[in-house]
């Protein structure tokens, strides 16, 4: 199976430490292009349910809506 992933994690095992190993505080080159690309995605699914932060366990005010470019999915 040919899979394309940016990062793959077992959600049940995801912790703040795991995330910090894969995150950066450095400026991201092309950030405006990345944001523009993600905003251009088409809505794939809709819900009124809010997202629960898997690290803190706190519920956010952000609905759990999914977007796609036809190949990748993101929230």
Q: What is the pLDDT along the chain (75 residues), one digit of tens a residue?
A: 454 444 556 666 667 777 677 677 777 788 888 888 888 888 888 888 777 777 788 888 877 788 888 888 787
Structure-block tokens of residue 47: 């819900």
pLDDT at 4: 46
pLDDT at 5: 46
Distance between CA atoms of 67 and 75, rounded to whole angstroms?
A: 6
């Amino acid at each position: 199976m040919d899979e394309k992933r940016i990062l793959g994690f077992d959600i049940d095992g995801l912790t703040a430490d795991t995330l910090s190993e894969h995150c950066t505080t450095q400026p991201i080159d092309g950030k405006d292009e990345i944001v523009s690309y993600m905003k251009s995605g088409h809505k794939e699914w809709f819900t009124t349910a809010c997202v629960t932060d898997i690290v803190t366990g706190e519920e956010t005010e952000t609905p759990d809506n999914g977007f796609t470019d036809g190949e990748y999915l993101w929230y």
